[in-house]
Structure 1
């Protein structure tokens, strides 16, 4: 599929806008003739019911839970200053890439996902490739949620059952919650889930400051805290830490399906900026405090960093947030497949047997795959880093850069020298995405191999206690 030809009148309008601003986003001036994915009409399920405050809650929950639990571990590799700069840099870039995706979607409201956008740019083959990568990304993201919940259940119960069974229970609960059909219906859970994980992290942040030494450090005798202003990691450790921080805010690629269910898609940027600003301020504050007091003894996930008692308290408060986070990731992937299968069919918005059968097959089927992957890579931060490097680097960095170059390939010609420079600078995004994909995947896979070799991971489908509490 290719974009409709730009009329001369529209081209002139774009050129005038391009000349007026350093970065041209002439999307709101277009008179769009493309239809929204979900239509508002009588006799069908109305999917477009999400307001921007609820969209903000969904965005917060997509990003915050797993990200905030992994960043202190990344600081332990990079050091405090590089860690903060990495959070700021990746956060600013991911926010800007979210703007690019929002603007492209505003111009083409028939797009339900980034795969649809790829299809408009590169045809059906690229669409299917991006769609497959998108689903894999959120399957891995759901897997990290399963691992996090299993750690919580082991913590509550003092490892009363095999970890595989806790993972299975977590997967079932995530699939059941993700099966709620619309983002509006699942939206009320997101604020509750966000508040629960925020309070859980706050408990740990306060708790680590009240201890004489980190919970993970030797409790008698001398020990080295390992706090560094500037770390000196190996390439393998550094790229893994960078991928972890990158993926902690790489959610905008999943925001596109939410826009398709917003009552007023033009309010998307309100939700985007509100979410990203709050998230990254919280990341920096929380991660710095935990790293300052725990140093290299920070745990992954970080909720175990304040000792066994507060670990149980924080997991008790935050387990619902982990559950909602896993469910949202699964919902995003399942909704993509659901729309892909039933699009242009009456079953997409009708309460038919095919409608429900397809939907539940998507949620429970994808969650089964997530469960298997979670058991294969049962280390929280490595699973997140693998998701960031293998999937989100091409989806969140390279592809939005290509979309920008494609969307403004005509309008930039009428711009100033500065505007042309900005346009050409976007060629760096596909290169950065390729580097993070190749380098990050190498680093994470090697780290996983090392973890199996040195006994950090007991094995695939292991019953071993992963809570750190004996």
Structure 2
């Protein structure tokens, strides 16, 4: 009977077997699925166990990736678009970015060998598209890391009233970010995200409350009449409108960073729970915070917005929010480094083993990309423009165009379905067109704005020591 049973089992189609294995963490009991043959990281105990993230911790990691430097640039973008246009932009881009994040997660879970957006691109267009997408992914998060480093240097300048050269503050920020990002697993980095999210959320809330207590904006003339600059409906130029739209878009577009986290989740199928929790909080906070700050500051809103409530509140906000800014840059650098690390060591014994090769590759990735981020942060020392450039060049293809193509790839039969299915199918081609327009138009607009800023002297030269926090009179 035993032999007969074995023969039947071997002849039957292979199906995943499950064993219950409970782990403590994230305040949730977790059931492990033993069928991880296609996953990048295996649930082993011989080396580094990357598969330790529960959905609660994943949602906080997602929150910290999204709710970071983006929230500091939205209020100034509101001035270009007006309150109504800005609010619609926050809602529209937030909804679209949430949907494309669902598409990416669903595609990843139906193709579990995909660790990153570049692996998904390989499914669509082979090795060439994979390498192009991978390069774009690294550039995106190196630029994001640069914006985080720039934000930290602004905070240090604000707290010290420009006690040292801005380049030295950026270098110090880079060292701290590089050290924290060198922790190898998202689970261990994850505990920082709780403190980071609480830090930046509290800092922004303090500024929101602070601006409502002033008779006039902190940056406005101290006496006499002045142009407040608040508009419900604004009429921006193409360049200003595209730059503002790209800034708001990028504030919730970093969803491709969620994919490497899924590969380290105990239950990848819990991804949607983490995603919806994150995006609901982020979009509600973006909309409420940015509208209040713009309503009370008008065109006098600071960039980043933590300086909008005067020098005292500015120091308090940066003092509290500094941890959040550091953790944001840490996560961006970790995501970029993890992609490169897996790209180099995938299917190698060194991927999860504590070998010299493992550590050498990992630290080379973090140190190398951190150095590049520092250079870019100093070369483009304008916070909002750095964000907008990241959104238009990198995230328009990664967060709109590619997800549209992913959906079309997995739903090819819909083009011959009913009217509703056909409409859905061809609307995803429209997504690709929207992404292409934002990529070209946003990049053009941002480059023109950067060029104008250098020409009119509103920003200093690259690697300048000048105060970038407006804490001292120029």
* Length-normalised TM-score, structure 1: 0.92
Shift in Å, 1:42: 3.3
Match of 2:426 in 1: 424
Please, which of 452, 466, 472 is the counterpart of residue 450 of structure 1? Answer: 452
Question: More displaced, 216-225 or 125-134?
Answer: 216-225
1:79, 1:413 → 2: CA distance? Answer: 39
State whether structure 2 residue 257 is matched by structure 1 residue 254. Answer: yes
Please, which of 456, 465, 473 is the counterpart of residue 463 of structure 1? Answer: 465
1:83, 1:216 → 2: CA distance? Answer: 21
Match of 1:112 in 2: 115
Deviations 1:354-380 (A, max 9, x none): 100100100010010000000010111
Shift in Å, 1:240: 0.3
Please, which of 216, 219, 224 is the counterpart of residue 221 of structure 1? Answer: 224
Match of 1:283 in 2: 286
State whether structure 2 residue 311 is matched by structure 1 residue 308. Answer: yes
Task: State whether residues 34 and 109 of structure 1, in contact with CA within 8 Å, keep that contact through their aligned partners in structure 2.
Answer: no
Please, which of 41, 45, 61 is the counterpart of residue 48 of structure 2? Answer: 45
Match of 1:269 in 2: 272
1:455, 1:220 → 2: CA distance? Answer: 26
State whether structure 2 residue 166 is matched by structure 1 residue 171. Answer: no
Deviations 1:209-263 (A, max 9, x none): 1111101111121111110001111000000000000000002111110000000
1:389-400 to structure 2, matched below 5 A, reads 389-400=392-403
Please, which of 208, 211, 234 is the counterpart of residue 208 of structure 1? Answer: 211
Shift in Å, 1:127: 0.2
Task: State whether residues 415 and 425 of structure 2, in contact with CA within 8 Å, keep that contact through their aligned partners in structure 1.
Answer: no
Match of 2:350 in 1: 347
1:414, 1:428 → 2: CA distance? Answer: 18
* Length-normalised TM-score, structure 2: 0.91
1:326-345 to structure 2, matched below 5 A, reads 326-345=329-348
Deviations 1:31-58 (A, max 9, x none): x996101011231211010000000000
Shift in Å, 1:415: 3.1
Task: State whether residues 146 and 167 of structure 1, in contact with CA within 8 Å, keep that contact through their aligned partners in structure 2.
Answer: yes
Task: State whether residues 34 and 108 of structure 1, in contact with CA within 8 Å, keep that contact through their aligned partners in structure 2.
Answer: no
After superposition, the Cα gap between the structure-2 partners of 1:231 and 1:413, relative to the gap in structure 1 and judged at 3 Å, is: closer
Match of 1:12 in 2: none
Question: More displaced, 37-46 or 194-203?
Answer: 37-46
Total equivalences in the alignment: 438
Please, which of 230, 235, 248 is the counterpart of residue 232 of structure 1? Answer: 235
2:354, 2:450 → 1: CA distance? Answer: 44
Deviations 1:260-281 (A, max 9, x none): 0000000000010000011010
State whether structure 2 residue 144 is matched by structure 1 residue 141. Answer: yes
SS at match of 1:348: coil
Match of 1:58 in 2: 61
Gaps of 5+ in 2: 1-34
Shift in Å, 1:414: 6.0
1:460, 1:105 → 2: CA distance? Answer: 40
State whether structure 2 residue 405 is matched by structure 1 residue 374. Answer: no
Gaps of 5+ in 1: 1-31
Please, which of 73, 77, 82 is the counterpart of residue 79 of structure 1? Answer: 82
Match of 2:131 in 1: 128
2:102, 2:125 → 1: CA distance? Answer: 21
1:434, 1:153 → 2: CA distance? Answer: 37
1:345, 1:34 → 2: CA distance? Answer: 15
2:174, 2:258 → 1: CA distance? Answer: 23
Match of 2:438 in 1: 436
2:460, 2:80 → 1: CA distance? Answer: 23
1:415, 1:351 → 2: CA distance? Answer: 52
2:68, 2:268 → 1: CA distance? Answer: 25
1:195, 1:33 → 2: CA distance? Answer: 34
Task: State whether residues 159 and 315 of structure 2, in contact with CA within 8 Å, keep that contact through their aligned partners in structure 1.
Answer: yes
Deviations 1:61-102 (A, max 9, x none): 001011110100110110000100000000000000001001
After superposition, the Cα gap between the structure-2 partners of 1:394 and 1:413, relative to the gap in structure 1 and judged at 3 Å, is: closer
Match of 1:357 in 2: 360
SS at match of 2:234: coil
